[in-house]
Structure 1
Amino acid sequence: MARQPHRFTEDDFNALEGRASKTEQKKAVQRMAALGEQLAELSPKQIQNLPVEERLIDALLDAQTITSHEARRRQFQRVGKLLRNEDESVILSYLTPQQGAKKTAQLQRWVERIIKDGDPVINEFVKTYNAAERHTIRQHVLRIHRDMSKQVGETELAESKLKLFNYVQQVALISDN
């Protein structure tokens, strides 16, 4: 007896909406590892003052003492994994003084232009910042536009915009080095 093919319903696709693909998850881990490398460049005193878990502080301090290339790579993968449990905004607030207020304002303008104009500006941003992923930015923008069309609460819309800004800020930090 032949097997009947499974028919996917609209509910099946709606359940998957908003979930990151495996590739996006891997790229997020790579971004977090790169942010970990930036955090490891801070002084030990600055690292001690980070408002994060003690395990992450220990991992960052250990990373400063490791000289073997492969061991450093593994250590930063571990740091990236630990960073996923932390608030991105707090981590970025410690790294943005390296960028300065002018750079932060410039990134905020990028976010506003990306939301307003879409693909042409996204392509320009991706050319400017080589660590940026077109697909990820588009997903953030689609989420923001969906929230605007559904007329969700102001806090939810601000949260979606903050996620895009955090991503843009991460990409700018990683691309500058």
Structure 2
Amino acid sequence: MTETYYQVDGSRERDDNISKTARKEEMTALQKLGQELTELSKDQLAQVPMSDKLRDAIKEYKRLTSHGACRRQMQYIGKIMRGEDEEPIRSKLDQFNGVNAEATAKLHRIERTRLQLIEKDEAVTRFFNEYPNADVQHIRALVRNARKEHEQAKPPKSFRELFQVIKEAIEGKSAAQQEMPPEEDESDES
């Protein structure tokens, strides 16, 4: 038995190979992709390659407040998604998710380093061994001041500044590693 289904532009197309269940799963996946698009900020949404029709439908969805209206609009977005090229959209969403996860991990690493520096003197020594270009006197003074601020329950001025200095040291090292040319193997010269 051949099945007929309608595309977004209203034309009919027959497909003998795709079952109704598989088609429904595909439509649900497109609707989920549309849901992810509705959760993006305006700036991120502007970067995603999509048709103006889809962009307008997403803006309309964000404007709605009624549960039923949102559900119907989401179904409409899923319908529009059938005519979109989903690969560039998926890759852009993956890029947004990857960048956010990477940035969050970096901030957590800086935070852990700051707490270790304040808690233990050995951590300060390890930090300077790992980041030899860091300003030793400035960081030691910030650590000392952050400890005093904590003991005296003062505002965490040095605590915050220490975060920025650690961030600069880590970024400076990673930038220096990217700029270094690859080392040549000395055994190839003979």
Place the TM-score, normalised by the shorter chain, in its bin.
Answer: 0.3 to 0.5
Larger RCO of the pair (alpha carbons < 8 Å, separation 6+): 1
Name the one with the larger strand percent.
2
TM-score (norm 2): 0.41
Report the TM-score, using the length of structure 1 for normalisation: 0.44
